[in-house]
Amino acid sequence: MGTLRDLQYALQEKIEELRQRDALIDELELELDQKDELIQKLQNELDKYRSVIRPATQQVHKQSVLQEQQRTKRQAISAEPTAFDIQDLNHVTLPFYPKSPQSKELIKEAILDNDFMKNLELSQIQEIVDCMYPVEYDKDSCIIKEGDVGSLVYVMEDGKVEVTKEGMKLCTMGPGKVFGELAILYNCTRTATVQTLTNVKLWAIDRQCFQTIMMRTGLIKHAEYMDFLKSVPTFQGLPEEILSKLADVLEEVILYNNKCRLHILLNIDWAVIH
């Protein structure tokens, strides 16, 4: 039987072990909180991306319902005048402005570096690059004024600008930066003022052209998803309206293995369907 000193020593060891476990639990809880924050941040980014891509496909279903209710009344896909279906959009000729390879790469990298636009598909980014046209401003010019209605997004190629909000300086920006993107993504007023500090060279695209690119991609994907669903035995025989709803909420899951990339259409939010 151990002495009192041995028992005290053993108790002290247990206390120290419990303290270390408590410290480990605290570390794990902190790590869990950080991961929760990261998940929330990624979810917010996903929501932003969906807010750009989803409206086009969702409007396809709305359009078909409205046409059933009142076939003589044509409805637009969005609040702005634009084409109706894939056939119409395929005949829309988007503007093309020649650029040097360096300018093309700069615009592409600027978009991929932008939190609101980096999740666009590469085909969409390529079309945006092709459609952007050159704009130049002299020093001390106002490119964007806070509170104004805006319809252009810019990519800086040369020069420097200052961004202010309510008279307070937020930052300065140089080549390779996107600004004004909220105007074409959310059809909102300008949230800040952008003033040139030097002569600047920019590339710009308007909201109408941007939306045409987004809608054409959305409608093509919607049609592809419809064809896919019709080929699945489980869904064969379902009404067109239900298939359209399924196509609206179908998401593309990309899986990787050691040899290749697999594209699988799996994720269906049944709560949205019902």
What domains are there in the chain, each with its CATH number?
92-211 (2.60.120.10)
Instruction: Name the residue with tokens 């010019």.
Output: 141
pLDDT band at 46 (very low <50, low <70, confident <90, very high): low
HSE-up of 223 (CA within 13 Å, CB side)?
Answer: 9
What is the C-alpha separation between 89 and 109, in angstroms, rounded? 27
In terms of average pLDDT, the best of 22-31, 101-110, 181-190, 242-251 is 101-110
Q: According to the model, what pLDDT value does residue 56 have?
A: 45
Residue 70 has pLDDT above 70, yes or no: no
Query: Mean per-residue pLDDT for 57-73?
Result: 43
Q: According to the model, what pLDDT value does residue 163 have?
A: 95
Q: According to the model, what pLDDT value does residue 69 have?
A: 45
Q: According to the model, what pLDDT value does residue 241 have?
A: 86
Residue 212 has pLDDT above 90, yes or no: no
Instruction: Name the residue with tokens 């085909």.
Output: 123
Report the alpha-carbon angle 18-23-29, nearest 5: 125
Name the average pLDDT for the chain. 78
Q: According to the model, what pLDDT value does residue 86 have?
A: 54
Q: According to the model, what pLDDT value does residue 49 have?
A: 53
Indicate the pTM of the whole model. Answer: 0.58
The three-class DSSP label of residue 263 is strand
Amino acid at 183: A
Q: How far is CA 121 from CA 9, 48, 55, 93, 149, in A?
A: 64, 14, 16, 20, 27
Instruction: Name the residue with tokens 């239900």.
Output: 242
pLDDT band at 60 (very low <50, low <70, confident <90, very high): very low
What is the C-alpha separation between 60 and 76, in angstroms, rounded? 10
Name 157's bridge partners. Answer: none
* Per-residue pLDDT tens digits for 230-272: 888 888 888 888 888 887 777 766 555 555 555 554 555 544 4
What is the C-alpha separation between 74 and 84, in angstroms, rounded? 9
What is the C-alpha separation between 136 and 157, in angstroms, rounded? 10
Task: List Cβ neighbours of 192 (8 Å cut-off, separation of 6 or more).
Answer: 144, 146, 163, 164, 165, 170
Between 73 and 119, the more confident residue is 119
Residue 81 has pLDDT above 50, yes or no: no
Between 256 and 200, the more confident residue is 200
* Per-residue pLDDT tens digits for 138-180: 999 999 999 998 889 999 999 999 999 999 999 999 999 999 9
Residue 113 has pLDDT above 90, yes or no: yes
180 secondary structure, DSSP code: S
What is the C-alpha separation between 97 and 147, in angstroms, rounded? 30
Residue 61 has pLDDT above 60, yes or no: no
